[in-house]
Structure 1
């Protein structure tokens, strides 16, 4: 199977799922199709403002299953479906990711080198505002090479 063909299936799946999941206020964050012996594993990651609950995942699983059953996108080869939340280990790549992680601690590697670690105070379509120590720093997304939420076991309480 060529790379162009293998990329086409997840892209088509994303296209077919976008509107039905948007009706549940969910965004399709990732579509991954990987071989697993004679089967394949299809992982769909979803997210929404306010976070994804187990009920959201259950409802999304039903919708995804129904859409795939009505489509020929998966072909005849058997597969296992996994629907999950986006998870904190995925990089922040879109403005909505930053908005949804307001008050969270993030570490960002900068395009020009170096890094910045701070708490997300605000974000818009072009920049994120971080609390870095006692300072506030506005960072354009274009200046960020990669950013990840940092796991905090004793996260300070504050306004959400």
Structure 2
């Protein structure tokens, strides 16, 4: 799963939480023409554009003072959205029985990319039931070490 680039969560979390928001996750994309630092925030009831603007103004000052990134970048503050990326194993605990798209670092049972329903979560592993192309549960249950998850995203089914 996503690592915390430059230890930014330690710098930003207290300020974001003091404003009544949860720091959902941080992404840094340095390999673009203009690097992007994307901060995801959340709160009960959802995030508005005004919330993003407020947090952006607040953390810009912190980032300027601490200056953890030694290159020019664009700061984006966003809601994690309905199809949110999971950054931490604890986040899975809020989504039992939900469909998640997994991408693993290494293959398990001939699978590296797949959709599955979250059945159980602990600090070390996530137990899932694989779904078919129609998002119907199969009989295949996988236990995925958290350390093997490269990326996981909530799948929205309408």
Confirm or deny a common fold (TM above 0.5): yes
Of Structure 1 and Structure 2, the greater strand share is in 2
Unaligned runs of 5+ in 1: 1-9, 155-160
Q: TM-score, normalised by structure 1?
A: 0.57
Query: What is residue 43 of structure 1 aligned with on the other side?
Result: 37
Query: What is residue 26 of structure 1 aligned with on the other side?
Result: 22
Q: Deviations over 1:97-152 (max 9, x none)?
A: 32244343123346435235322244232332334426483624247443433644
Q: TM-score, normalised by structure 2?
A: 0.58
**Secondary structure of 2:117's match?**
strand
- Give the drift of 1:95: 0.8
- Give the drift of 1:12: 5.6
Aligned with 2:99 (options 69, 85, 105)? 105
How many residues are aligned here? Answer: 141
Equivalent pair of 2:127/2:141 in contact (CA under 8 Å): yes
**Secondary structure of 2:108's match?**
coil
Aligned with 2:143 (options 139, 143, 151)? 139
Bigger Rg, structure 1 or 2: 1
Unaligned runs of 5+ in 2: 131-136
Higher RCO (Cα < 8 Å, 6 or more apart): 2
Equivalent pair of 1:112/1:143 in contact (CA under 8 Å): no
Distance 1:111-1:74 versus aligned 2 partners, 3 A rule: closer
Equivalent pair of 1:14/1:31 in contact (CA under 8 Å): no
| Aligned Cα root-mean-square deviation (Å) | 4.0
Equivalent pair of 2:126/2:146 in contact (CA under 8 Å): no
